[in-house]
Structure 1
Amino acid sequence: MKDAIRVLASGDHFIAPQLFVEALQKAAPGTALEFRTQTTPWPHTPFGPVGNVKEASGTEDELLEALGDAEVALVQMAPFTDRVIREAPNLKLIAVARGGPVNVDVAAATRAGIPVTFTPGRNAAAAAEFALGLMLAALRRIPASDAELKKGAWRGDYYAIDNAGIELDGTTVGLVGYGAIGAIVARVLRAFGSTVLVADPYADPARAAADGVELVALEELLRRSSVVSLHARVTPETRHMLNADNLKLLPKGAVLVNSARGELMDYGPLPALLESGHLGALALDVYDVEPPPGDWPLHRAPNVITTPHLAGATRQTADRAAAITAAQAAAYLRGERPEFVVNPEVFEAAKSAGGGQQS
């Protein structure tokens, strides 16, 4: 009988290790598997930089102890740094249950011949719904009126025309980024009756036309949109893509929503734009520093809604992430190339060397 394949299921208090275990057992029936488990402290303890990776939870020493001689790792937040990869010679696959493997030193894994998989779309529905919720909350003053009523203030003056909210029906909404999340947001906005603009140089024009959205340059989107919502990935090209120069292009009173990544925006000019009324409202789920400090200027600015990076926090996201991650690992164990691999060149290198993955 073939020896069992040793697997580390490294979860946390969102995706429990047992969820990985059950998902892989379902995805790879009949495969002899021997599991080790680890639970990192996220989200009870915020993630952050560990070693030479970011957005990780736990320590390198804890991960190395949990790994032991594991060949396959199904992981959510654990820090697969250069050091961890160097000190885990038996490791053959890192399957990450996130939209991008930001907690993995992909270059180190590639040098070691280790494929790294990821889970695109795992939280697309959750993040899209949350972004729409932030839009509605900002446009209709829902958090502010709730807080004021609980303090005994009946703000009937919100019915005064100068204070009244704005409907999504008939409003032009600009989406920066048109991946899985942006496409869902657009579909719902179209059902509301919004005109939807999209700024994404990589979007498929045929798909955009079929979806009923208009592809435009970022500057045009900012000039024409009463609501702008960010759905892009952070790359050198997109870092601080919204900044002091182009935020001025927004129409007076526009609403800005960021539930994607804090690094997409320069947060510095936002307090002044809110104080002047040029920016009508700001809704944030992500920040340039997480969590933002107590003296953060936007805590004191008017018409700001803030939530603690919750867009993907649904039970369905956890189940979906575990299932997609397990499917990648199961494909590898069958001797196939997984569908979502961030460094496919490791397979070409192995093929050139006359080798291949072990099944």
Structure 2
Amino acid sequence: MRILAAGDHFVRPELIRTALSRELPGSGGDAPELVELTLPWPYEPFGPVGGVREASGTEEELIGALAGVSVCVTQMAPFTERVFAASSGLRLVAVSRGGPVNVDLAAATRHGVAVSFAPGRNAPAAAEFAIGLMLAAMRRISASDAALQRGVWRGDLYAYDEGGTELDGATVGLVGYGAIGRIVARVLLAFGARVLVADPYTDPAKAAADGVEPVELDILLRRSSVVSLHARLTEETRHLIDARRLALLPAGAVLVNSARGGLLDHGPLPDMLRTGRLGALALDVYDVEPVPDDWPLRDAPHVITTPHLAGATRQTAHRAATITAAEVGRFTRGEPLAHPANPEVFAADRP
């Protein structure tokens, strides 16, 4: 069996190789042959390639690397209809990210290729980052740091009207209560916050047992002084927080989005910030990435921005490689995949 480790400069091929070595036989005639490809992300931004989203590299280089390959482990490679059509021996694509957005699942299924993914790979990192954004926004950490770097001592931030707010005693609303949202909630509760969650797929009894209060989204927005987004982006959730729902927020509320830029309608935000209707905005994800030079929020007040870094820890990269290598191990042993994206393709039947 020939395996392609199509890594990049985050989930690097050597991480994939090391993780695979723990799952697969290392010697003898049955030992797999491992070949490697390094894609340019993150030194070159990901984007749409051949009809798939958030991919890195080209279809041509991937097709060339897939010659004779039956299994590919990747984070960003563009698995399009064209790639599947040109790779007749391919049987499994193990994607080392929370969702296989770089894979045309319909094409994979038509060509009999199983696809798996790596849920939870970045949950601790993304949860920590969301908490960091909240604190930075609520306590003016970024603004005061930037001023001091310019030589300006912002003693005025101790004035009552400029003072920050605390998580202790605050009502924080989490839109989405999956792996990341649950960790965020646990940390917020430790800070002394009251936590509301809006997620139609969450069992209310389990949420209540966690110490959080499940509510409808509109109610959450009305009651929360801090709102953090943790939902997955689908056609159902695109612009989930639109102008109507933004207007439900209490005056001066803090809004954090470290999930997906498409969850939030960015149009109303500059005016809301300038009028004080929105107290602060912290973003790690955007409607267009990278943001353009004429981005409307660039000169709006009380905005904290980071370049899609919530999952950027070394531990995330190691977990991603480990989870996908385990899927390859299951595949080679004829076992069902733990995280199939197209379960109608039975990977266990394709050793």
Compute the TM-score of the two structures, normalised by the length of structure 2. 0.98
Q: Distance in 2 between matches of 1:299 and 1:125?
A: 29
Give the aligned partner of residue 125 of structure 1.
124
Once the two structures are TM-superposed, the CA of residue 69 in structure 1 deviates from its matched residue by 1.0
Give the aligned partner of residue 8 of structure 1.
4
Q: Distance in 2 between matches of 1:145 and 1:346?
A: 54
Alignment check: 8 A CA contact 2:174 2:229 kept: yes
Q: Distance in 1 between matches of 2:282 and 2:176?
A: 17
Alignment check: 8 A CA contact 1:36 1:67 kept: no
Give the aligned partner of residue 47 of structure 1.
46
Once the two structures are TM-superposed, the CA of residue 249 in structure 1 deviates from its matched residue by 0.6
Which of 20, 23, 28 is matched with 1:24 structurally?
20
Give the aligned partner of residue 154 of structure 2.
155
Determine helix, strand or coil for the equivalent of 1:346. Answer: coil
Once the two structures are TM-superposed, the CA of residue 237 in structure 1 deviates from its matched residue by 1.2
Give the aligned partner of residue 58 of structure 2.
59
Q: Deviations over 1:173-208 (max 9, x none)?
A: 000000000000000000000000000010111220
- Relative to structure 2, which stretch is displaced further, 205-214 or 135-144? 205-214
Once the two structures are TM-superposed, the CA of residue 24 in structure 1 deviates from its matched residue by 1.0
Structure 1 runs of 4+ with >3 Å offset: none
Give the aligned partner of residue 116 of structure 1.
115
Q: CA RMSD in A?
A: 0.9
Once the two structures are TM-superposed, the CA of residue 28 in structure 1 deviates from its matched residue by 2.0
Q: Deviations over 1:12-57 (max 9, x none)?
A: 0001111111111101235511011100000000000000101000
Q: Deviations over 1:300-340 (max 9, x none)?
A: 10000000000000000000000000001110110011100
Percent identity between matched residues is: 67
Give the aligned partner of residue 73 of structure 1.
72
Alignment check: 8 A CA contact 2:25 2:32 kept: no
Give the aligned partner of residue 137 of structure 1.
136
Q: Distance in 2 between matches of 1:243 and 1:272?
A: 14
Give the aligned partner of residue 90 of structure 2.
91
Q: Distance in 2 between matches of 1:325 and 1:47?
A: 20
Alignment check: 8 A CA contact 2:262 2:286 kept: yes
Where structure 1 has 5 or more consecutive residues not aligned to the other structure, the ranges are 351-355
Q: Distance in 1 between matches of 2:144 and 2:64?
A: 51
Which of 348, 353, 357 is matched with 2:349 structurally?
357
Q: Which amino acid aligns with 2:349?
A: Q
Where structure 2 has 5 or more consecutive residues not aligned to the other structure, the ranges are none
Determine helix, strand or coil for the equivalent of 1:316. Answer: helix
Q: Distance in 2 between matches of 1:7 and 1:150?
A: 49
The alignment covers a number of residue pairs equal to: 348
Determine helix, strand or coil for the equivalent of 2:345. Answer: helix
Within 5 Å, which residues of 2 pair with 1:162-241?
Answer: 162-241=161-240
Alignment check: 8 A CA contact 2:5 2:16 kept: yes
Alignment check: 8 A CA contact 1:243 1:265 kept: yes
Q: Distance in 2 between matches of 1:153 and 1:34?
A: 59
Q: Distance in 1 between matches of 2:70 and 2:303?
A: 47
Q: Distance in 2 between matches of 1:150 and 1:125?
A: 30
Q: Deviations over 1:38-82 (max 9, x none)?
A: 000000000000001010000000001111110000011010001
Q: Deviations over 1:73-106 (max 9, x none)?
A: 0011010001000100000000000100000000
Alignment check: 8 A CA contact 2:175 2:197 kept: yes
Compute the TM-score of the two structures, normalised by the length of structure 1. 0.96
